[in-house]
Structure 1
Amino acid sequence: MQVKAIVFDLDGTLLDTLDDLWLSVNYTMDKFGFPHRDRREVRGFLGSGVRVLVEKSLPEDKKDMTDECLSVFKAYYDVHKDDNTRPYDGVIDMLKAVRAAGLKSAIVSNKYDAAVQQLKNITFNGLVDFAVGEGNGIKTKPAPDGVLLALKNLGVSKDEAVYVGDSEVDLKTAENSGLKCVAVTWGFRDRDFLIECGAKNVIDATCELLPLIQKGELN
Structure 2
Amino acid sequence: MEYALRLLVFDLDGTLVDSKEDLAVAVNVALESFDLPPLPHPMIYSYVGDGASALIRRALPPEKPDLLQEVLDRFLAYYGRHLLDTTRAYPGVVEALRKWSGMYRMAVLTNKPLAMTEAILSGLSLSGHFHDVRGGDSFDNKKPHPEGLLHILRQEGVEAAEAMMIGDSRNDVLAGRAAGTVTCGVTYGLGASGFAEHPPDFAVERFPDLFRRIRPAE
TM over 0.5: yes
SS in 2 for 1:24: helix
For 2:24, the equivalent position in structure 1 comes to 22
Task: State the match for 1:159 in structure 2.
Answer: 161
**Aligned residue pairs: how many?**
214
Q: Report the CA distance between 1:193 and its aligned residue.
A: 4.5
What is the one-letter code of the residue matched to 2:211?
A: L
Among residues 6, 12, 15, which one is paired with 2:14 in the alignment? 12
Q: Check conservation: 2:31, 2:37, Cα contact below 8 A.
A: yes
Higher helix share: 1
1:38-66 deviation digits (Å, cap 9, x = unpaired): 11101110110111000000001112221
Moved runs in structure 1, 4+ residues, more than 4 A?
A: none
Look up the equivalent residue of 1:213 and give its one-letter code: I
Letter in 1 for 2:97: L
Cα deviation 1:152-181 (Å, max 9, x = unaligned): 232212111001000111111111221110
1:193 & 1:143 partners in 2: Cα distance?
Answer: 16
Tell which deviates more after alignment, 168-177 or 135-144. Answer: 135-144
State TM-score, norm by structure 1: 0.92
Q: How do 1:65-84 and structure 2 match up within 5 A?
A: 65-84=67-86
Unaligned stretches of 5+ residues in structure 1: none
2:120 is matched with 119
Which deviates further from its counterpart, 180-189 or 113-122?
113-122
Determine the structure 2 residue equivalent to 1:57.
59
Kindly indicate whether the alpha-carbon contact (under 8 Å) linking 2:174 and 2:198 is maintained by their aligned counterparts in 1. no
Q: What is the SS of the residue equivalent to 1:197?
A: coil
Long gaps (5+) in structure 2: none
Report the counterpart of residue 147 of structure 1 in structure 2.
Answer: 149
CA distance in 1 between partners of 2:45 and 2:144 (Å): 18
Q: Is the 8 A contact 1:108 1:146 kept in 2?
A: yes
Q: CA deviation at 1:136?
A: 4.2
1:210–1:125 Cα change, 3 Å: same
CA 1:137–1:6: 2 relative to 1, 3 Å: closer
Q: CA deviation at 1:67?
A: 1.2
Calculate the TM-score normalised by the size of structure 2: 0.92
